[in-house]
Structures are given as C-alpha cells and as structure tokens.
Structure 1
C-alpha cells in the first residue's frame, strides 16, 4: 500500500540528490523550467528503485546542450529531433550519472504509422497529458519540489490501477505500442488495467500491426524481464493482442471435450513460466532476468496443437511436438527480430525439453548422460531449470519421483564432469592427428573419423590417446 507521507519524503530526497540539484540549479539560473518526469516520480512514490533520471523542460534542444555541457563528462544529441539530449552528469565525489532531458512535447500522430509529428510544447501540463498512463504522467518541478499531476496519477497509484490520461481509444490510436506497455506495466507494478482501457485494447488490437517488429520485440522482452510476466501475458491473450504477433500462445488454449482428456496446455505453460522464474531466483539469486529461458518456458509446448491426435478410448497424443515446436519458435522469433544466438538458445531448449522424462522411467547409462550433456551444450543449466519447471502435476507422489530423478541426473552429471572433464566433450584426437594416424588429407573422411571418435568418447568415456588411435585404425581397416 502506498504511504503518501513516505512517498513525498522520497520525492524530496530525489529532488535534493547531487545530480538533480546541480541540473535544477543550472536550468533555473538560465531562466528555464525543469521537472523530473515519469518513471522516477512514480517509483519514488512507490518506494521502488529508480534506475533512470528523466527530465522535461521548456528549453529547446540547443539550450539544453548549452546548459548541461559544463556539468557533464559526456553528452549526446542522438534524440535531438525528438527534443531529447542525453548527458552524464559529474558527481561531486567522482563518477557520473546518466540523465535524459527532453523539451516539452505536443505531438500529433497521422493514424497510419506510430511515428509522431514532433511538435514542441510550451507547458508542463500539456506535455504530461499526452503521455501513456496517468501513473507515468506526473512530474516534480525542481528545485521548487512541486508535484504536478493533471490526470490523477496519485489516485491511480493508490488504487493500483493503470489508466490513460486521455480517452484510451485516442491514446492507443495515436500510438498502438501503448497497449503492449499496458501489459508490461501491469506485470511490473502488479497493477490492474481499468475496464475502459481493456475494452479499448480489445477493439484496437489489430492496429498493433502498424508497429515495427523491433518495437514489439522490445516490449515483449521488457514484459518477460518482470517478476510476474503472467499478468501481462494473460492480458495480451484475453484482449486478442497476442494473437497479432505471437499467435502460438493463444493457440495453446486447446478445446477439451468430455471424451478426450489432457491437461490445459495454456495454463500448464503459464505455470511452467512461473516455476522457471522461481527456480531462476532460487539457483541464481543475483542474476539478471533470464529472458531466453522464460520465453522457452512460455513456448515449449507450442507444437502441441499441430501434433494433437485423439486416440480411441479417450487418449490424446502429441508425438514429436518438441521438434515441431522448435521449428515454429524459430520462424516466429525470426519474424520478431530476435538475434540468432537467442533463437538458438530458445529452440534448443524446446527441442530437448522432453529428453529427461525417459530418464525418470529407467536409469540411463553413462553414455546417455554424456549425450544429454553434449546435446545441451552451453544451455545445460537452463535445461535443468526448464525440465524441473515442466513438472506441473498435482500428483504429489509423481512430482516427488520426478524431482528425485532429476536430482539424480544432476548428481551423475557432476560426478562424470569431475571424472572426465565433461565440459570439454571432444575426441582425444583432433583433425590433424586423425590425418597423421590414417595417412589421409583433409576431406569428408576426417569428419567421419572425428564423429566415430566422439561416439566412442560418449559411449565409453576417456580411453587414452594410444587406445583411441588403435580403435581409429581398426575402424578405418574395417571400412575396407
């Protein structure tokens, strides 16, 4: 619950912090207004950590540059066309803090693209009412420390509610990306989105298609970085927005009839995301949010709708949904402009997420464990988390059996790693030595020999170089 007295005290501390005080004094001396705006004000009132300092002013970009230059160790004007100047303001004891300062805006939109026609404004209040949500449309004038809240942002903070300053249909019509931001802030702040805003999201859902894939990608990543992305995911699915850019997720809501029974794949997937985040925090408490892992958890079963088969007697199968799902994920993530490394991570996890369940049904040989490690590669730890998170059964005995089995496989991996340097899973002879032993030059046969030796390494562990050479010669001779 928001305590206003404490919130106001935090605003005062923010206003008198060294960087804010120095910048505010410089703008006041130059005869311009200055206010801290948006997220820093909201977070100070809520008692959340403030990561960025954003200011707004009636000064134009050239004036902003002139004022901040003497205070900064560096400054840049990459956002000048939008009225934004960035700078690193020197701290009294050394070091610097990054700030962004933007001229008041009074933009208009053409309704066809999300690019605004940039127009500078003259008043702080006019700038605030064009922002995305009321809780982000508050400002603190400095150095006077006057809170400016023209749209009722404080009341919405108290009510834990997201609402647009203007008519939501107009706000989202101006900039459809704000609908995705609603989902992100709902998750980030644990706020509810008011009913009128949700209705506008439903009506205008198709307008998100005019937004670039890169911008949608950015908001999806920010949503998945929150502690509770499920709130935002549900909102996107329920409003039909997710259907526009990641339709594989709402497609998980498979129809379940009275004759063929299987778990709700959509709810299961959301549970896997939640459990993966819990395990992430438990195993790596100080790490940054693992977005590839969380996306793999969300998408791990997207191959099920395409592979579902209704069997006689009421059974349902999803044969090879892991392979199908990995292919589907690769295609969709490329369209959303994810980088190749992230796509490889996510699709590898999806493709391997079922591998462990064979272990639970019967202990693997050392060879099988080595292959599991080899196939997971650098994603082994993520695969551990995803596989554990994928157990959502309500049968406590079954859940305990699966957890015990995975404890066992992790123990065996650790033991083999200590014995055999499992992290460096390579044959004992490299390509050059293979050529020397067999008396051949570079070519296809070297690759075949390398794979033969790797299979030996996986099946039998460390052989020693002399034994590996003997086996290689025997294999070569047997080829004729």
Structure 2
C-alpha cells in the first residue's frame, strides 16, 4: 500500500521497513473508545510481511454494522453501506478507503450459489473461518498486536498455502476457495499443501454451485498473476479446470508416437508467459487480461481439428476459426463483457495470419489488410504473434522474429504515409447515394464495402478516380441492370 507521510512503524516481527498509515490507529482508537474491538485483517496483514502493495485496508470488529457506522460518524469524510447485509461498512478518510466487517462466517447450502451470512462473536473464530492461514492473521488496534493462531507467518516464510481447519471443511463452506488457492499460487508464487491439493481434487465438482461471475473474477486474477502457470497447472491437476475452463485440459492432446507435433498444453502456457513479458512494449494496460486470455486460449481449436495425414504429418487446419468460436462460447458462459469477449476471440481468429509472410513476402495490399483487420487490437496481435514462437530451433526463431520486425516496419511506413489507422473508403455513404441516386439500404452498404476493399488493395485515390471505380462497380450490379431494363 502507498504510505503517506503520517505512517507508523510496526512492532517487532514485521519487516523493518513495514509501516501503516496513522489513520488505521485513529480508527482503532475510536472503536476502543466506543467499547468495541477492531483489527486489521487478512490480505493487508499478509502483504505487510511480503512487502507488497495491498491497496486495501480491511478490518474486522465485534460491532454490528449499525454500531460500526455510528463509530465512524463525524470522523470519516464519507460513509457507504452497500455491504451492510454482509456486515460491511465503508469509510473514506483523507485519501484512504477503509472497510469494516462484523465478525462473520459464510457457509453454502449444498444446493445454493449464494452464501448464508452469520455474524460471529470473536476474532479467533473469525480467523478460523478464513480461507488460508496466510490470510488468517490480524493486527489488533490500536495497540498493533499481531494475532496469528494458525501459523500464517510460518506458512508465508515457507511459501505454502494451508487452511486454518481441514481443507474439506473450508471448501465445503465456500467452494470458491479452491479457485482462490490457484489464484494465490499465481499471484504469490506459493505451493499448496498436499492435503489442500488432495481436497481440491476430491471436491472439484462442488465448484459447480458457484456463480459464473465469481468464477470469472478468480480466473481473471489468476491469469493476471505473476506466476499464471502455477495456478493453471493446479486447476488442471486437480480437475477444477474441467468444470470452469474445460478447453484448457483438452489441450493435453495425446502426443503421437513419433512426436510430430508439440505439446499444445505446455506450448499454450509458454505463450501466456511470453505474452506477459511483452505487455510493457505492446499492451495498453498491465496486466492485460485480453492479451493473456488470447495467449492462453489461442490454440483451443486444435483438439477438434487435429488430423493425421497419410505421410504421418499432423495438421490443425483452420484451428484459429474453430478456436475463436470456442472462445466466444466459453467467455460468454463465464459472463465476460462483450468487448472483452469480442477482442479475445478476434485475436484468436487472427493469430495465424502472419505465417507465410517470411516465405513469400506480402504486397502492400496484404500489409494494409493485416493492420486494418486487427484495428485497435494490432499492438496486442503483435505481442501474441511474437509470443506464439516457442520453438527451440534458434535459427527458426530468429527467422520468424526478423520477418515480424520487417512486417511491423512496413506497417509503420504505410501507416505514416496513408494514415492507415483511420482507413476509410475514398467516398462516404452520402456521396455514394448521391452519385448512384440511391436511398439508404443494403446496396449502399455493399458499395461502401467494395470501395473499402479497393482502398485496402490499391491505397488511397483522388475523388474522381474513386467515383469512376464506383460507377464501374455499379454497372455490374443486378440492381443497376434492372433499372436500365426498366
């Protein structure tokens, strides 16, 4: 978390440079003055030990939501209570946002997707009900005393995820915690304890009661973590991926006895890792969930398109088109927004376009079309295509890299000369209708698309040349011929 000038040093046991903003102790003093307990809890405490920026200030208390809201009244700059029914009241003080939640337990009915919330009455019970020991630590306020009944500091040092109680009880209470284990493996680079992985494997089917929206949020955090391979491998090993992202384990194709194609699953994880490394150069946001999902899923069409040819070769013809359809279907099922779904599917569809460029070379028309079809996704397509090279053959890898360098150079040159990023036909719809005497309708759209294709093939033209091309095209259309006959 970003520390302000009024930060306070933490007691022995924490890293020497660990500190908290004074606002945390101020709130603790107000709760103590009102006769209530207050503790900083969970992720913020864990991240203090790890030296990570948590971004959150989460607290737990014995006060019910009404009492917590009353404590903050007159002190906080603003208060919100959208989480009241879950026991959470939020405060803003200065530049800080603080959320205070009543001691609680969340359990699932075996057939329900929604948690049943029950308030608890002690900090120790609240910590016992949390997901993992590294998140089951607290700092009592205002004295800043560490409470760690389940060995969270020990497990942080070991880089291992364990549950405060039995993993079976924990995952039964909230099956989403199984996905959270994979997410923390990705974000923190931790291993899961053997008994935790065993429980995840045995209980994988229980994830089905969790809503698609909550599953999606965990998958996004996992894919955007610093070590996504660890989290994804865990999902596949335990069988959880079969329920939340079945296209991923499907990539574990049985390799043919002569090993004529690479391990598609391992290749996909490597492409994801390489794409993440290119984000700083190509991506509009970091981490870039669109690029990372496209990298992970770019070959999901291969299982359905694998063919063994007579000579023993293995082919995956048109796997990019099949894959794009599968990606759209899966991301919609996970309730991703339309923009993300369309962008990821489009990148999957386009990821094979580059191949062949280095062998035969492309005309300026083909370069224009490549850039135009990618549109705003072009930088991400650059990153995805470069990441898709995982060959161990250094000469082949260098050849592909040089070819793509050349393609990027040509795109930049043509873009500068023609403002290709904003390519439009030389005539707009109104001019088309005026020249041909048409009313708005499908024919105008066809004329527009023809001029756009012509523009991409041959570059920009003066208006009179474009008008001549439009009239030439129009003379060949059945509507023009019908009008002449009439």
Compute the displacement of 1:158 (Å).
1.0
Compute the displacement of 1:260 (Å).
5.6
TM-score by length of 1: 0.95
State how far apart, in whole Å, the 2-side matches of 1:74 and 1:213 are: 32
Counterpart residue number, 1:332: 330
Compute the displacement of 1:8 (Å).
4.7
Find the partner of 1:51 among 43, 49, 55: 55
| Runs of 5+ unmatched residues, structure 1 | none
Counterpart residue number, 1:407: 405
Name which of structure 1's ranges 111-120 and 67-76 shifts more when overlaid on structure 2.
111-120
Where in structure 2 are the equivalents of 1:371-382 lying within 5 Å? 371-382=369-380
Counterpart residue number, 1:443: 441
Query: Aligned in 2, Cα 1:471/1:138: closer, same or farther, shift over 3 Å?
Result: same
Compute the displacement of 1:10 (Å).
4.8
Compute the displacement of 1:107 (Å).
4.2
Q: Is the 8 A contact 1:225 1:291 kept in 2?
A: yes
Q: Secondary structure at the match of 2:280?
A: helix
Find the partner of 1:19 among 15, 23, 31: 23
State how far apart, in whole Å, the 2-side matches of 1:282 and 1:330 are: 27
Task: Output the aligned Cα RMSD.
Answer: 1.6
Query: Aligned in 2, Cα 1:291/1:100: closer, same or farther, shift over 3 Å?
Result: same
State how far apart, in whole Å, the 2-side matches of 1:108 and 1:420 are: 61
Counterpart residue number, 1:136: 135
Query: Aligned in 2, Cα 1:145/1:6: closer, same or farther, shift over 3 Å?
Result: closer
Counterpart residue number, 2:472: 474
Counterpart residue number, 1:110: 109
Counterpart residue number, 1:7: 14
Compute the displacement of 1:146 (Å).
0.6
Compute the displacement of 1:205 (Å).
0.3
State how far apart, in whole Å, the 2-side matches of 1:208 and 1:410 are: 44
Q: Secondary structure at the match of 2:380?
A: helix
Counterpart residue number, 1:176: 175
TM-score by length of 2: 0.94
- Residue 434 (str. 1) matches residue 438 (str. 2): no
State how far apart, in whole Å, the 2-side matches of 1:10 and 1:203 are: 42
Where in structure 2 are the equivalents of 1:32-47 lying within 5 Å? 32-47=36-51
* Residues 255-302 of structure 1 deviation map (CA, whole Å, 9 limit, x = unaligned): 013146210000000010000001113445x94210011011111000
Q: Secondary structure at the match of 2:262?
A: coil
- Residue 29 (str. 1) matches residue 33 (str. 2): yes
- Residue 67 (str. 1) matches residue 75 (str. 2): no
- Residue 317 (str. 1) matches residue 315 (str. 2): yes
Counterpart residue number, 1:299: 297
Aligned residues: 469
Q: Secondary structure at the match of 1:72?
A: coil
Q: Is the 8 A contact 2:137 2:146 kept in 1?
A: yes
Counterpart residue number, 1:197: 196
Q: Is the 8 A contact 2:189 2:226 kept in 1?
A: no
- Residue 361 (str. 1) matches residue 359 (str. 2): yes
Q: Is the 8 A contact 1:86 1:100 kept in 2?
A: yes
Counterpart residue number, 2:122: 123
Query: Aligned in 2, Cα 1:311/1:162: closer, same or farther, shift over 3 Å?
Result: same
Counterpart residue number, 1:83: 87
Q: Is the 8 A contact 1:162 1:191 kept in 2?
A: yes
Q: Is the 8 A contact 1:108 1:117 kept in 2?
A: yes
State how far apart, in whole Å, the 1-side matches of 2:223 and 2:303 are: 23
